[in-house]
Amino acid sequence: MDPREREVRRRMRENELYLDFGPGLEVLEEERIHGKELADKYNRTSARDSAGRTRLLQRLFAHVGKDVCVEPPLHVAYGSNTSVGNDVYMNFGTTLVDDSEIQIGNQVLIGPNCTLSTAGHPIDPELRATYAQFSSKITLEDKVWLGANVTVLPGVTIGQGAVVAAGSVVTANVPARVVVGGVPAKILRHITDADKEFTYKPPKDL
């Protein structure tokens, strides 16, 4: 491995600033291209070809559990830095910016047009103009549900059984068994035994 590549990979793991292109980083660039090519192939599959879709996901992701369903289109930075557990459903338009690791647990539901972004940039404009970035692992623990159009930012862990309301931006770690929502997301309430009895509640009037 080129020493420049080794140093960048270390920085990616350690949440330090790095550039992911340039001399000595050709392998990283090829990994990104390969992931995007596989995602593009996946996005052109037929809904009837579940076996073919499964094979492509197994090539794309670091790990894929049983009974995983991903609705196209799917977008990735690498793909190979994402691990997916059993019984996972990702709706249309999932974006996985997996410059760092994304860990998705078992029985996770991801609504339409959600983004999990492990990568970010410095606030200082001069530093940002160098194209420097950082990345930090995202974890969705078992039985998490992300509503439509949720964005999860770098370094966030969402605890077991938590629900994230549609349209939320998650900037901080979420405890287990809570409902969060908003921009940035805040705890709205805890999930209790009362939630085992489902009753549809229509929207209130504004």
Residues classed as catalytic: 121
- Alpha helix stretches (DSSP H) within 67-139: 125-128
Task: In whole angstroms, give the CA distance from residue 15 to residue 50.
Answer: 37
Of 171, 136, 122, 133, the C-alpha closest to 150 is: 171
- Residue 52: how many other CB atoms lie within 10 Å: 13
Task: In whole angstroms, give the CA distance from residue 6 to residue 131.
Answer: 19
Helix 50-60 crosses helix 26-43 at what angle (to 10 degrees)?
A: 170
Task: In whole angstroms, give the CA distance from residue 171 to residue 76.
Answer: 20
